[in-house]
Structure 1
Amino acid sequence: MEEQLDKIEEQHLDWLSVLNEFYGPFKKDLENAGKEMKHAKAETTPSEYTCPKCGKPLEYRFGKNGKFLSCTAYPDCKFANPVDKNGKMLVAEVTEHKCPKCGKAMVKKSGRFGVFLGCSDYPNCKTIMKVDKTGAVLPPSPPPEPTGIKCYKCETGELVVRQSKKGPFLGCNKFPRCRTIVSFKKIEELKDLQAKGQWPPKTLDKADEMLGRAKKTAAKKTKKESEE
């Protein structure tokens, strides 16, 4: 194909005929591939392990996090277990902690945010506990505190007090659908404005102005225009 493209440039060959000559067989190959190729997640490989829940054989499957073991009786049995890079089953470390919801043992697990404790009866029970670097269980995060202040972006949510490493802030209770964030320092001012019927404003620009963001937005626009 590359040689033909060079000839089109050098010898002025008819590029349409060259393209049709290539695309005809390519289209057939593409259609055959769509019919015959199997999706990676649909492929399974037998394993030496048996399901600890129902006794059926376990098989290797591929998911978004890579290879894992799954029960061949799925979906009747939803047992799944991670494996190491060699395909060896990883045995969950049972801890002394009990699930506050179902009373089953909590086991140590690893996720994208690090180590945590999960209920051994997962997926029937999805309780998790956060732990620190030493493995000690951290107290649960306090629930968001309602403020009664309406969210100016989605207009259906309410700003609630949330906690972060840097301290409290105001966020919409419709998160993650609405990702509004407002400084906690504005809480009393916004309550007062809402009591006077001045909050939420009719436009986002007006909201930015009332929140003291208008100057920052204008500065960003000026900087972007100067760079262009």
Structure 2
Amino acid sequence: MNALVELFLVLAVLVMAVKLLMLNAWRAVLFVYPDRVRLLPDASAERMELPPELVARGEQLRALGFRPLGVHLEKSPLRRGFRSYDFVHPEERVFATLHLSSQGQPRLYLLTPLAPRGFELTADSKRLAFDVPGLYRAVGMPECPPELLLQAHRLRVREVCPAEDFTWEGRLQAGRDWYQGPGAQEIRRQNLPGLLWTLVALAIVVSLFLGGERAV
């Protein structure tokens, strides 16, 4: 009976470790290789259809003068890609991107590429402030409505020199440059817990197998 109980406990711990790996391995890979994220065009502005959860936000953006650009797919290793819905306001020199969070909540962030390089980013979700002078500034304003988010972003953009390309190609390139450049540090900070949980899960698996070998 003791042997059966021990086997059951070992299997339970192994299942838990495997589940941890499945949930966090992609975050660990993203921590190590943030520049491996690919931005792929998924639909043009004419074919862009917002999910029901994002329709209201899309209408708010249009009322503020934004126009649709297209849909892009962000795909990282070991993870299915997720869609982002892009808009642009050339006069304000800002891109707006809608997407759904992992919990299915509507999210919006405003992005302005800078010349010769750099980014200003303002999001309506919880986000740790990030400031690399002259290169990258990001701030989160949870649950902030689009019009107030745009006002806050506009004030910050006045202090810098925006880039000139606010086309669909410019939006895709800005996303790729973000992952290849200043965004990498932020991605690592966001995914550090995933890396730690992955190491814990691997340590559990290794200890189970080594313990089994010693028992033999």
TM-score when normalising by structure 1? 0.24
Q: Which has the higher strand share?
A: 1
Q: Which has the higher helix share?
A: 2
Structure number with higher relative contact order (C-alpha < 8 Å, ≥ 6 residues apart):
2
Larger Rg: 1
